[in-house]
Structure 1
Amino acid sequence: MIDDVIVIGDLKLRHDASIDEHNELGERMYGIVSQLPGFISVKSFKSEDGEELTIFRFSSESALEAWRTHPEHVRTMKRGHAEFYVSGFLQICKVIREVGPFDHAGKAS
């Protein structure tokens, strides 16, 4: 059974937000989340129109809950809403099916 949980985030920065400070906090949060049991990965993607999505992968709901309730993460989320972000959303998704991975490099002709 697949228990992976995917979090998709789309947060819009305020025009007057300190990018350097925001990036420092992001690095600090990555340093914490990447050490938590059950964290798999985080990747960000930016489209041509400027929209940026961040995708977090966790091995279970309990792993996500450990991150969601981590004291420093909670403080940083509150600060982010107050100082850095003008709008955004998070979607928490449960993986219902996984196909792959595929490896065609070793396939015989």
Structure 2
Amino acid sequence: MLGEMIVIGDLKLRDGASGDEYDRLGERMYGLVSSLPGFLSVKSFKADDGEEITLFRFASEESLERWRTHPDHIEAMRRGHVEFYASGFLQICKVVREVGPFKHSD
């Protein structure tokens, strides 16, 4: 969908970070983001070399901004930097062209 926003994340947990607490926070954030208008999906992919990428899809810049500025999400991002992440990056991308979906007919 033109105007759709894609956030690509590659965040590495630090040694000693509480996996259980991180998972609980992640579940809480998923419950919150999935209830916001314009949130489309989130999916994670793991490569053979162990790198894991997460893709978040939002219908518009406005819907992404609602998520980015939500007070609970701001607090979760703060905790991520302080408690959980050793390194990583986020890339914010806007869909400028879409081709497909393709269907093969026999």
Aligned to 1:94: 94
Distance 1:15 1:43 in 2: 24
* 2:53 matched residue in structure 1: 53
Counterparts of 1:3-82 in structure 2, within 5 Å, are 3-82=3-82
Letter in 2 for 1:43: K
Distance (Å, rounded) in 2 between the aligned partners of 1:13 and 1:80: 9
Over aligned residues, Cα RMSD in angstroms?
Answer: 1.1
Map Cα deviations across residues 39-66 of structure 1 (whole Å, 9 max, x no partner).
0000001112221110000000000000
Secondary structure of the 2:16 match is coil
Q: Which amino acid aligns with 2:59?
A: S
Match of 1:18, as an amino acid?
S
Q: How many residues align?
A: 106
Structure 1 segments (4+ residues) deviating >6 Å: none
Percent identity, please. Answer: 70
5+ unaligned residues in a row in structure 2: which ranges?
none
1:83 aligns with 2:83: yes
Which structure 1 residue ranges, 5 or more long, are not aligned? none
Deviations 1:6-51 (A, max 9, x none): 0000100001111111111111100000010000000001112221
